[in-house]
């Protein structure tokens, strides 16, 4: 019996995957999430651009890494990665590349970022304890929450691997009460991102 050509089999699998995503509402979920997040992202970009126009943020961060002791830089990074995480970690990765043991300090950064994300998850859970937020989520956002819980793993993976605030993804996961064990598992990809960035940045420095 002849087997089906590999390319045809792959096309069938992609077609079935596309049908599954369409049926379960994955595409709608992603599009709705983008539409809701876009104004906030644009506002942050404009705010950072305006601030950077009058005050060079990158230079300030570089000066901070050159002025503070190592534990001060690590502490600042941990707070940043726990609270929204809008400061690019690349600045700190470049700093670790100039330290006596680059990969050791990079490991510290990776685990601090990962730990900060896990703490952010519980911040998200805490937010839902606020009565007004709880009522809004349970009444007006019930349908969106159902889809969000279904695709929460995708949310965490995107935040862990892509240049997006990992903390925000974890806070969102906490708000929708995505299982913490899954956050721990998917969030561990954050460590991989730091390893990849380290390989790239260390070879450039």
Q: Is residue 68 part of a domain?
A: yes
Closest listed residue to residue 163, CA positions, set 87, 110, 98: 87
Q: Is residue 9 part of a domain?
A: no
Q: Is residue 7 part of a domain?
A: no
Q: Is residue 14 part of a domain?
A: no
Q: Three-state SS for 46? A: helix
Q: Is residue 138 part of a domain?
A: yes
Q: What is the pLDDT of residues 135-148, one digit of tens each?
A: 665 655 555 566 66
If pLDDT is split at 50, 70 and 90, which confidence band does 159 have?
confident
If pLDDT is split at 50, 70 and 90, which confidence band does 19 have?
low
Closest listed residue to residue 86, CA positions, set 195, 196, 169: 169
- In angstroms, the CA 114 to CA 118 distance is 6
Cβ(169)–Cβ(160) under 8 Å? yes
- Asked whether the predicted pLDDT for residue 51 surpasses 60, the reply is no
Q: Is residue 140 part of a domain?
A: yes
Range of the domain at 53: 25-204
If pLDDT is split at 50, 70 and 90, which confidence band does 104 have?
very high
Q: Is residue 183 part of a domain?
A: yes
Number of domains, the chain? 1
User: What's the pTM value of the predicted model, to 2 decimals?
Assistant: 0.70
Q: Is residue 148 part of a domain?
A: yes
Cβ(77)–Cβ(89) under 8 Å? yes
């Amino acid at each position: 019996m002849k087997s089906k050509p590999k390319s045809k089999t792959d096309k069938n699998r992609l077609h079935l995957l596309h049908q599954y995503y369409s049926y379960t509402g994955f595409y709608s979920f992603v599009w709705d999430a983008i539409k809701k997040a876009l104004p906030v992202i644009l506002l942050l970009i404009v705010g950072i651009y305006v601030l950077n126009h009058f005050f060079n943020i990158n230079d300030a961060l570089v000066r901070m890494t050159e002025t503070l002791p190592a534990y001060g830089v690590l502490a600042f990074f941990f707070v940043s990665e726990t609270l929204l995480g809008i400061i690019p970690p690349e600045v700190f990765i470049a700093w670790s590349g100039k330290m006596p043991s680059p990969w050791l300090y990079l490991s510290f950064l990776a685990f601090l970022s990962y730990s900060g994300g896990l703490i952010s998850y519980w911040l998200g859970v805490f937010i839902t304890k606020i009565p007004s937020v709880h009522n809004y989520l349970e009444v007006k956002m019930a349908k969106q929450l159902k889809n969000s819980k279904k695709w929460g793993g995708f949310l965490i993976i995107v935040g862990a691997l892509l240049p997006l605030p990992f903390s925000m993804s974890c806070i969102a996961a906490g708000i929708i009460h995505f299982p913490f064990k899954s956050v721990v598992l998917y969030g561990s990809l954050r460590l991989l991102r730091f390893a990849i960035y380290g390989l790239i940045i260390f070879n450039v420095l």
